[in-house]
Chain A
Amino acid sequence: MTTTQETAPAPEREEIITGCDAVAQALRLLDVDVLAGYPIRPYDSVMTAVSKMIADGQMDAEFIVAESEHSQFEIGKHASLVGARAFIGSSGVGWMYGMEALVVTASLRLPVVALVGNRALDDPGAFGVEHNDAMMVRDTGWLLYWVESAQEALDTTLLAYRVAEDKRVMLPCALSMDGAFLTHSQHMVRVPVADTVSAFVPPYELGDRRFHPDNPVSIAPQFNEDWVMEARRQSDAGMRRARAVIAEATADFHRVFGRGPADPFVDSYRMEDAEYVLMGMGTVGMVGKVAVDRMRAAGKKVGFLRVKWFRPFPQPELRALLRGVKGVGVVDRDYSFGSNSHGGVLYTEVAAALYPEPRRPVLVPFIAGLGGREVSVDNLLEMEETVERATADGVADLTCQWIGVRGPDSDPRDVAATAEGGVR
């Protein structure tokens, strides 16, 4: 993504705030109309922040304390249908509890924006990050983004509304943020002013679907095989068009704010001449970059590739960036038990994305950092070694490696060997 000519940067103030607070600041600047909250850690800090801003008169909005996530999401959906800019969010089992309402928000093509503070699903009742919660909407027509820093959280909230509300897209957007590692860790964030934000995000217009007495339409009537496929294809078309809209909005972000990401879809770090690449989503990117610096210092040609937009999935970028790379390690902070090579969701998507390439790199799936366990620089160094070894040995289908997990009995490599008749 080339940066368009940058005019004088708009005035911004710098603050040290958490990921959740950064999203709250964006919501204030966006003049969001209706917000519905329900308590679950760790996303709920964003609701704590906005409710206080409303109480203090810094923001004019209706804040609704819902009686469940299902209601929370339905409230957001219906408010959006009336023409209000709406915000919701959740974590872990809360996101799952409201799944029905999430699905219809997407199929009704309503541009609600949500924050998912990624959290492990019960049981056990863990608080730590896992990406499975947000992943559950990946097939339903939600735009999905994983942020790495508080600044990116603020900026992407602006982008999310701009893209979701674009007439060519009209799909809801979920912003995923690693629980604790980002929701509650503080970063230096540049907070723009409201005028600049309204120059970047035009008012929300629902047009002829607006739910108002002046527009007596029936919304979401019942139909079956006679029309369902056409409706699904319209959602698909919106998602296909989203790529161009995201690129356009990111370019415009540079123009308005005088800063912004180099590439709308992926964050590539020292990828220029990389022979080996590690990939992941969310805060693992920060650790990954440190690990890459170390390996580069030791003379290795290694890069890190962070997937930002998961829906739409950046297939063209991945194909281009991984062309010529020898080996790739995909770090999943999620699981998809029983899937290809027993890897996680990101691995499966990356593998599928690269399939059309005539020459593909060796791809090694890793699962790490589940339930909020730290993924360390050493872990990433270990993964890179494994990728190099697999590449050298010509092992093209290494089954998924679990990193930083205790006990030989719980090691899937051993279990797989036993199942195939091998001795341990």
Chain B
Amino acid sequence: MAIPELVIPDLEINRRLTVLPMQEYYTSGHRTCQGCESALVMRYMAKIAGPRTLVTGTTGCMYVANTSYNSTPWALPWAHTQLGSAGSSAIGTAAALKVLMRKGKIPDERINVIAFCSDGGGGDMGLATLSAALQDTRYNLLILLYDNESYANTDIQASGMTPWGAVTSFTPSGTEQRITQHRWKKNVPALLMAGHPTGRYFANASSGFGMDLMDKVRIALDVGGPTFVQTHDPCPKGWDFDPRMSHELAILAVECGITVLWDCLEGELRYQGLTKQQVEGKVRRKPVADYLRRQGRFAHFTDEDVDFFQSRIDEMWEDWILPGVLRVNQTPFGRLPVDGSSPRQAGHAGAAVASGNGNGSGGAQIEAVGGNRA
């Protein structure tokens, strides 16, 4: 299959940030893979946060590959926290700063508190701690979830945020079961936003759009807290592609409408850059095949699998109340295929009307994929 030429779009993504500091606070000393976009996210994050910042990070690539004893890339104070503890580390750090300043034990000043985690530690294991952090309005803190779509550091296992169908160390493609990652990627930023009216800022960003990402981190830190930013970061090792293509792949995910650039400041939802143009109908989404077919983790996909994936992305744009963000549908989701059979078109407009459960919004009903919906 011929690989189409990648075109980096000329985007209007600098909403406010136009000047960047020269200083870097995440520098040499790490040993992440070539083309590791998560490392780039760390660099953006540290650069824009500046020196009066405390960073904690959960176990994972951005710990193990980053912070080998005696060769740290951090020019900021950084501390490890346990895999499921991003939220708790942020609370503990922020609470301590607050009380020590109140008691005059340390100078009273603004100190940013950032806790980062990935999809495994933050989206799965530590989700409850993110929830707790986003409820605690007493503290200024930012949770940054770098989503590389797997438990990367333990050699690429599927998480709840790994895309449907992707091959990982725990979800291989076999002769009997072509697809073993049955779960559809969970939408963590929207889940957190929808359920935490106390959170003051939520954003979804991409490593491919550095200015937008840094703008979001900056807004989060300026707002105070509690806040949440997620980034979508291609991982050459986990996704199986040439490291040269990392940045392009991040951009392509946005072009295909898989990654959606949005933020929500004090309850106001906004789209950014290319996503905004897609929402406004000025730019058409590219087919997801362009994105999927460049990655070894989807190499086993049949055309039907690709169509199924496309149908889900279409649904997210055409059927959701907040396109690409919040899934309150006109039609129900249906069931994901779990037996390795080819998925049938399901979910959005055009699906055959069959046994619905009768309580879908808007009255439209779909046939459940697999046909065994009770």
Contact = CB atoms under 8 A, between A and B. Distances in A.
A223 interface: yes
A62 B89 contact: no
Interface in B66-84: 67-70, 72, 74-82, 84
Interface of B: 51-54, 56, 63-64, 67-70, 72, 74-82, 84-85, 87-89, 91-93, 95-100, 102-103, 105-106, 111, 128-129, 131-132, 136, 138
Interface stretch (A150-158, A214-222, A288-296): A214-222
Q: Which of A64, A71, A222, A227 has the most C-beta atoms of chain B within 10 angstroms of its own C-beta?
A: A71
Interface of A: 31, 33-34, 36, 60-62, 64, 66-68, 70-72, 74-84, 86, 100-101, 104, 203, 211-213, 215-223, 226-227
A227 B68 CA distance: 11
Nearest to A103: B82
Residue in B56, B68, B95, B129 with the greatest tally of chain A CB atoms within 10 Å = B95
A45 B84 CA distance: 27
Contact of A34 (B80, B84, B99): B99
Contacts of B69: 221-223, 226-227
9 contacts: A62-B96, A64-B91, A70-B88, A74-B88, A74-B92, A78-B96, A82-B54, A82-B92, A215-B77
B80 A78 contact: no
B23 to A, nearest CB: 13
B93 A79 contact: yes
A75 B67 contact: no
A84 B100 contact: yes
Given A100-B82, A213-B53, A223 B92 contact: no
Given A70-B84, A71-B87, A213-B52, A34 B96 contact: yes
Contacts of B67: 218, 221-222
Contacts of B97: 82
Per CB-CB distance, the 10 closest pairs between chain A and chain B, nearest first, are A78-B92, A82-B96, A84-B96, A74-B88, A71-B88, A75-B92, A219-B79, A220-B80, A223-B69, A218-B72
A113 to B, nearest CB: 15
A67 B74 contact: no
B89 A74 contact: yes
Contact of A82 (B70, B93, B131, B136): B93
Contacts of A83: 96, 100, 105-106
Given A67-B131, A71-B132, A101 B82 contact: yes
B77 A211 contact: yes
Given A66-B91, A72-B88, 8 more contacts: A61-B99, A62-B95, A74-B129, A78-B79, A81-B93, A203-B105, A213-B51, A221-B80
B64 A222 contact: yes
Contact of B129 (A60, A67, A100): A67
B85 A101 contact: yes
Contact of B77 (A79, A217, A221): A217
A216 B74 CA distance: 8
A76 B92 contact: yes
Given A67-B128, A218-B74, A104 B99 contact: no
Contacts of B72: 218, 221
A82 B95 CA distance: 9
Nearest to A68: B128
A357 to B, nearest CB: 42
Contacts of B54: 82, 211-213
Nearest to B67: A221
Contacts of B76: 213, 216
